[in-house]
A and B are shown apart, each in its own frame.
Chain A
Amino acid sequence: MSDTQTAEPVLKIEGLSIAYEPGRYAVKDVSATVKRNSITAIMGPSGCGKSTLLRAMNRMHELYPNIETRGDILLDGQSIFSMSVIELRRKVGMVFQRPNPFPNMTIYENVVAGYSLNDIRLKKNQRDEIVENALRNVTLWDEVKEFLYRKGTFLSGGQQQRLCVARAIAFNPEVLLLDEPTSALDPIATSKIEDLLGELKKQYTIVLVTHNMSQAARISDDSMFMYLGELVEAGRTETLFTTPKDARTEAYLTGKFG
């Protein structure tokens, strides 16, 4: 990959403001960039707007009624608000706080759910290949290859969450958004997901919301700190953690609130 490509941001957020009700902003005038093939962590206390900002990146925030969005987000230079949401969400996949495999589908069906939901017909061998690749990428293949036709809900929480990552990357998206993906998992399952993200960033650009500071420090390349809807500070994770510029960032990082 050439240097110019690496330098060019995948996502460019420009003056983004989001209100759930008129005048009450969850995200206030945020401008930031997300670099290709890196992990960007969004941190901040509960209610700071970090999840809303993440959800705006594939327009999931629009599921709420009466949402008001100003500003813009560019994906590879194109405004995501000018794309069809369906197309956008195939390019920008998402993993949620609690593992949510479809309970009525088998493991196999869960991985290709994105295709079946969108009525995309694939040949059996194409599907097999997608399923195996996605499950290998999330290091789940060896654990589940014997039970591909059993329901995904019988897996452990950590396995379910990796299945959800597999489901999200089966479309081969550019960006993978994760909304506190380990908050419902035990430490071992958490470290498996963290290792996995380190591998996945070679192929995808990852944006991760977390309220776990040490997780952000461990795995992210860049960090954003949000407070009361504002982006207080953003930069290289090392720099932000060692020499924060803003007093609020420092107070948060040293555990004075959060």
Chain B
Amino acid sequence: MSGDKVTKALLFLSSLTVLLLSAGIVLSLTGGAIPAFREYGPGFITSTLWNPTTGSEEYGALPFIAGTVITSLLALLLCIPMAFSTSLFIAEYFRGTRTAGILRSLVDMLAGIPSIVYGFWGFYALRPLLISTGLTDQGFGIFTASIVLAIMIVPYATSLSAEIIAMVPSELKEAAYSLGATRREVIFSVIIPSARSGIVASFILALGRALGETMAVTMLIGNANIIPKGLFSPGNTMASVIANQFGEADGLKLSALIAIGLLLFAITALVNAAGKFIIRRFA
């Protein structure tokens, strides 16, 4: 065999490994989830019961799906103004300046902070602050988790949006300037419309990260297996119920947790695919 063919075969084998691994993960998740789905059927997704007492075991995923969706969407909502304005600052307003460079490094640094450290910060810094406002007794709950989650996804949304904004051709900006447009008009009439779908996609990808985020949320959400009743109510997310309970789970409960894992995987994959689809159409 020639060197070329060997390289090709090796590359093919390594890519095949990745493919097999992901297929394996899906297979074992599905296999593990089967007992729970067989027991409860599609009702597993809509049931709000979570009763691990032997003999009257009953499991439903709705509180966790709700917790995940609510905290992630709330985090996205809080993230949008921060990330959008920061990306405009970096990629347009102060483009190429030292200030923008420093800000970009800081944003990248935020992305590198481990989840547990965010959780720690939320626990010891943010929680007391929220308690002192009088809005919450314990400081645990949906709102606390969402704030920390928002800060955690800001760097992803910011750097992606900034890249998209920087990709808007300078010819278009010059065309607008040559027609007498001001900086503000160029930003709002040319840059944002041209980059719109890419910016939307970057927020969808950030949402994808928020959905699966586990550690920091687990530390702050209050871990109550109920559908959250309000902004400051405790709740639980799909990722954090797994993190909290898998250690002592077996039988049907373990299968229920695996089923939640499979659902989370499916939701995240869908959201990421949507984001990538939009980005590809833009680029």
The answer on a CB contact under 8 Å between A89 and B178 is: yes
Instruction: Tell me, rounded to whole Å, the shortest Cβ–Cβ distance linking B144 to chain A.
Output: 40
* Measured CA separation A93–B179 after assembly (Å): 7
* Measured CA separation A102–B181 after assembly (Å): 13
Known: A65-B96, A117-B189. A102 touches B180 (CB 8 A): no
A-B pairs with CB below 8 Å: how many? Answer: 69
Could you say which of A60, A94, A103 contacts B194, with CB atoms under 8 Å apart? A103
What are the residues of chain A within 8 A of B193 when measuring CB–CB? Answer: 104
Instruction: Tell me, rounded to whole Å, the shortest Cβ–Cβ distance linking A126 to chain B.
Output: 17
Choose the segment among A16-24, A33-41, A164-172 that binds chain B (4+ C-beta atoms closer than 8 Å): A164-172
Instruction: Tell me, rounded to whole Å, the shortest Cβ–Cβ distance linking B180 to chain A.
Output: 4
Binary A-proximity of B88-102 (CB < 8 A = 1, otherwise 0):
000000001100000
* Measured CA separation A118–B190 after assembly (Å): 12
The answer on a CB contact under 8 Å between A89 and B174 is: no
The answer on a CB contact under 8 Å between A164 and B172 is: no
The answer on a CB contact under 8 Å between A117 and B172 is: no
* Measured CA separation A85–B185 after assembly (Å): 14
Interface size class of A (residues with CB under 8 A): 20 to 34
Could you say which of A89, A98, A104, A119 contacts B179, with CB atoms under 8 Å apart? A89
Whether B177 is near chain A, meaning CB under 8 Å from some CB there, is yes
Could you say which of A89, A93, A100, A113 contacts B169, with CB atoms under 8 Å apart? A100
- Residue with the highest number of chain A CB atoms closer than 10 Å, among B177, B178, B182, B190: B178
* Measured CA separation A102–B179 after assembly (Å): 12
* Measured CA separation A201–B178 after assembly (Å): 20
- Residue with the highest number of chain B CB atoms closer than 10 Å, among A86, A101, A171: A86
Whether A214 is near chain B, meaning CB under 8 Å from some CB there, is no
Instruction: Tell me, rounded to whole Å, the shortest Cβ–Cβ distance linking B278 to chain A.
Output: 15
What are the residues of chain B within 8 A of A93 when measuring CB–CB? Answer: 178-179
Q: Which of B157-200 contact A (CB under 8 A)?
A: 169, 171-172, 174-182, 185-186, 189-190, 193-194
Task: Please name the residue on chain A nearest to B183 by beta carbon.
Answer: A63
The answer on a CB contact under 8 Å between A60 and B175 is: no
Instruction: Give A contacts to B, CB under 8 Å.
Output: 58, 60, 63, 65, 85-87, 89-90, 93-94, 96, 98, 100-104, 113-114, 116-119, 164, 167-168, 171
CB-based closest 5 A-B pairs: A94-B178, A114-B179, A100-B171, A117-B181, A89-B180
